[in-house]
Amino acid sequence: MRLLEEIAHIGRDPHTGGYLRYAWTPADLELRAWFRAQAEQRGLDVEEDGNGNIFAWWGSGGDAVVTGSHFDSVPQGGAYDGPLGIVSALLAVDELRSQNMKPKRSIGIAVFAEEEGSRFGLACLGSRLLTGAVDPAIDLSDRDGVRLQEVITPAGRRDDILARIGCFIELHIEQGRALTQPVGVASAIWPHGRWRLDFTGEPNHAGTTLMADRRDPMITFAFTVLAANKEARQRGAHATIGRVSVQPNATNGIASRVSAWLDARAAATDTVDHLVSAVFEKAQERSKRDGTSVELTTESVSGETLFDTELRDRLAKVLDDAPILPTGAGHDAGVLSAHVPTAMLFVRNPTGVSHSPTEHATDSDCEAGVAALARVLRDLTC
Ligand code: HGY
Ligand code: MN
Ligand code: MN
Ligand code: MN
């Protein structure tokens, strides 16, 4: 898809084809510069909000219809998750310009920072800073120990920008297999959250310590991974353990500490809560047996997002009764929806695979997404 191809090489791992686009790293800075140039080529007024987010405005008025997404990726992520929404917004503006459209409301394109949370751990960091959902002084560090405030000095909540946004619409590749037509409209985002699990044991010699004398946190950790899988399956929920670090991670030493993140999601909030409590309970029981300890820390929790029904139905109607469906994936649209009427458009993902180098959408479906976004922007601003 045009423009996606232009940025395809940026932050791409040549061995796997996956993307390593982490916020404020060279790849991300290159993508931001590319976006700024694209926006300026279109005569859009570009501003940065001090939280890492970029806004490109067509028109200076308030009550703007804003669309956009994120550039950053999960480690070894795909080419579409995020960038498709930004590229489609640029191409939709081109489409409206080619129709000689003069919008009566401003149109904005937004690029949100650190949506995946791959660098600092907190998802939707940029949109959460913009809306005041997190404090600009928040204490976050990346895996190299670099603090957020060493990278940017977050401006925090920007009421002036929020006041300009009349509604927000995020176009995104669908991250499941539910969408069987080229374009769909989102109804909701499942409740989801991230919890950190820290397992502590006793470092010791791999060769001389009897098995019965060990206090190995890896054992409690391994048991917890299996428990999370079992508890999730029993509840029809989704649980994933990732971002694992083992200290000191020797080949011939028993670990002192294992840290991991639990990503838990389900169609209902209390299912997520029960899932996390059940996993932690099982981990604590096992830790008693292993002579280790386990701590649970809540990193971020997002309740169910129900998108604005009027906007949702209006988009579905404009798009000839496009299918309406929920998603288990989090988005900046979920954060914005607490502040402005918000909707999402999904572009079909034939395999449903995402957060993987093989993530893919066909060119014709991506073009259908651009056409749909243009139709929606026209409907809302003319
Ligand atoms: O993790 C998510 O659901 C999203 O892709 N950030
Ligand atoms: Mn993602
Ligand atoms: Mn995304
Ligand atoms: Mn998103």
Token readout for 194 is: 């991230």
Ligand 1 pocket member 231 (CB < 6 A): no
Percent of the chain with pLDDT over 70: 100
Q: Which pLDDT score is estimated for 322?
A: 97
pLDDT digits (tens, 9 = 90+) for 238-252: 999 999 999 999 999
User: What contacts 344, CB < 8 A, 6 or more positions away?
Assistant: 169, 170, 171, 172, 185, 186, 307, 327, 331, 333
Q: Is the separation of the CB atoms in 236 and 190 below 8 Å?
A: no
- Distance of alpha carbon 100 from alpha carbon 357, whole angstroms: 38
pLDDT digits (tens, 9 = 90+) for 57-85: 999 989 999 999 999 999 999 999 999 99
**Residue 72 counted as an annotated binding residue:** no
Q: Which pLDDT score is estimated for 13?
A: 98
DSSP string, 33-68: HHHHHHHHHTTPEEEE-SSS-EEEEESS-SSEEEEE
CA angle 94/100/103 to nearest 5° reads: 85
84 Cα to the center of ligand 3, angstroms: 9
Mean pLDDT of 147-168: 98
76 Cα to the center of ligand 1, angstroms: 14
Q: Which pLDDT score is estimated for 61?
A: 87
Atom 6, ligand 1: residue with shortest CA distance: 116
37 Cα to the center of ligand 4, angstroms: 22
Mean pLDDT of 298-314: 96
Q: Is the separation of the CB atoms in 186 and 307 below 8 Å?
A: yes
pLDDT digits (tens, 9 = 90+) for 308-322: 999 999 999 999 999
Ligand 1 pocket member 359 (CB < 6 A): no
Mean pLDDT of 26-31: 98
Alpha-carbon distances of 256 from 115, 202, 205, 333, rounded to whole Å: 32, 5, 11, 40
Token readout for 356 is: 């993987």
Q: Which pLDDT score is estimated for 232?
A: 98
- Distance of alpha carbon 154 from alpha carbon 143, whole angstroms: 19
- Distance of alpha carbon 52 from alpha carbon 170, whole angstroms: 18
19 Cα to the center of ligand 2, angstroms: 12
**Residue 81 counted as an annotated binding residue:** yes
Closest of 241, 262, 265 to residue 191, by C-alpha:
265
- Residue 15 exposed, middle or buried by CB count within 10 Å (0-12, 13-18, 19+): exposed
Confidence of residue 287 (pLDDT cuts 50, 70, 90): very high
102 Cα to the center of ligand 4, angstroms: 29
Confidence of residue 253 (pLDDT cuts 50, 70, 90): very high
pLDDT digits (tens, 9 = 90+) for 131-150: 999 999 999 999 999 999 99
Ligand 1 pocket member 49 (CB < 6 A): no
User: Ligand 1: which of 71, 72, 73, 74 to mutate, most ligand atoms within 8 Å of CB?
Assistant: 74
Confidence of residue 3 (pLDDT cuts 50, 70, 90): very high
Mean pLDDT of 45-49: 98
Residue 122: nearest ligand to its CA?
Answer: 1
Closest of 335, 197, 194 to residue 272, by C-alpha:
194
Confidence of residue 2 (pLDDT cuts 50, 70, 90): confident
For the chain, which domains are there?
A: 2-190+304-381 (3.40.630.10), 192-302 (3.30.70.360)
Ligand 1 pocket member 216 (CB < 6 A): no
The CB density around residue 314, as the number of other CB atoms within 10 Å, is: 18
- Distance of alpha carbon 280 from alpha carbon 278, whole angstroms: 5
Q: Is the separation of the CB atoms in 124 and 117 below 8 Å?
A: yes
User: What contacts 226, CB < 8 A, 6 or more positions away?
Assistant: none
pLDDT digits (tens, 9 = 90+) for 350-366: 999 999 999 999 999 99
Ligand 1 pocket member 329 (CB < 6 A): yes
* CA 49 to centroid of chain Cα atoms: 19
80 Cα to the center of ligand 4, angstroms: 11
Confidence of residue 31 (pLDDT cuts 50, 70, 90): very high
Identity of the residue numbered 241: I
Ligand 1 atom having least distance to the Cα of 329 = 3
